[in-house]
Amino acid sequence: MSDLIAEKHDHVAIIKLNRPDRMNAISAEMLTALGANLEEFDKDPQVRAIILTGEGRGFCSGLDLKDTAAGRGIGGSLSGGGASHISTLEIPTVTLHRIDVPVICAINGPAAGYGFDLALGCDLRLISDRAKLAPAFAKRGIVPESGGTWYLPRLIGWARACEIGFLGDEISPARAQELGLVNQVVAHEKLMVEARAWADKIASNAPLAIRAMKRLFRHGLSEDFESHTHHVLMQLMLLFRSNDVGEGIKAFIEKREAKFTGR
């Protein structure tokens, strides 16, 4: 079996980390495959939502330390031999931030280290009542290397981000929802059913508008209000030319569910 499973069902793609014997620790090969699959699904006009989850008891226990010791993957320079250039363009968490298709993270078990950052990089997070978040970076002498230092202050504010980063304590599902790190806590046996329900609901909406909305959310984080308003107006003018807008208005008038084509 592949260490990463990627499949498509109707308009929903599912990516599953598949090293259950290692609690889905990310290998160098998995990093490459994950980034490639995210980009492939983002380019596929039929894909309107992506679900990211793990096989077995864990979501992701972090980067594979055996790879690190062998000089492969992120942190590979710890094995010695001098520094080397590392591009961030192919790092999956950067790809997550860049793509326009919404990504739902179904946290089925412990999300530690890189797995914690990977979950934060998704747009929506559902967590099993048996899972936990483990931001133990400070206990390993490192920092959140793949997005955590950027996401945490924006998601939960400065003081809470410092609390999580500096203390390094495990976070229960209930506490994660209280902090705003996850959208919803779900009974373990219903996690994927709920994730698929969210994905299907997203996929039933106008895909061009969803992609544009995510893109505008992203750009809005670094724009002033007036500049952002201008970009929103330009995007809206483009959307008004789409068939989906006409279908949305017609469906509203006819009191029926719209059938969007993404055109």
The answer, yes or no, to whether residue 213 has pLDDT greater than 70, is yes
- Structure confidence by residue, pLDDT tens digits, 162-191: 999 999 999 999 999 999 999 999 999 999
Map residue 170 onto helix, strand or coil. coil
Q: What percent of the chain has pLDDT over 90?
A: 81
88 pLDDT band, cuts 50/70/90, is low
Domain ranges of the chain: 4-204, 207-254
Cβ within 8 Å of residue 178, ≥6 positions away: none
DSSP conformation class of 172: -
The answer, yes or no, to whether residue 13 has pLDDT greater than 90, is yes
Section 193-213 average pLDDT: 97
Please give the CATH topology (third level) of the domain spanning 4-204.
2-enoyl-CoA Hydratase; Chain A, domain 1 (3.90.226)
Cβ within 8 Å of residue 235, ≥6 positions away: 212, 215, 216
Q: Greatest CA span in the chain, whole angstroms?
A: 68
The answer, yes or no, to whether residue 212 has pLDDT greater than 80, is yes
Residue 76: what pLDDT? 53
Token pair, residue 232, equals: 């929103």
Tell me phi and psi for residue 94, to 5 degrees. -70, -40
68 pLDDT band, cuts 50/70/90, is low
Place of tokens 């009974």: 187
Instruction: Tell me the whole-structure pTM to 2 decimals.
Output: 0.91
- Structure confidence by residue, pLDDT tens digits, 94-104: 999 999 999 99
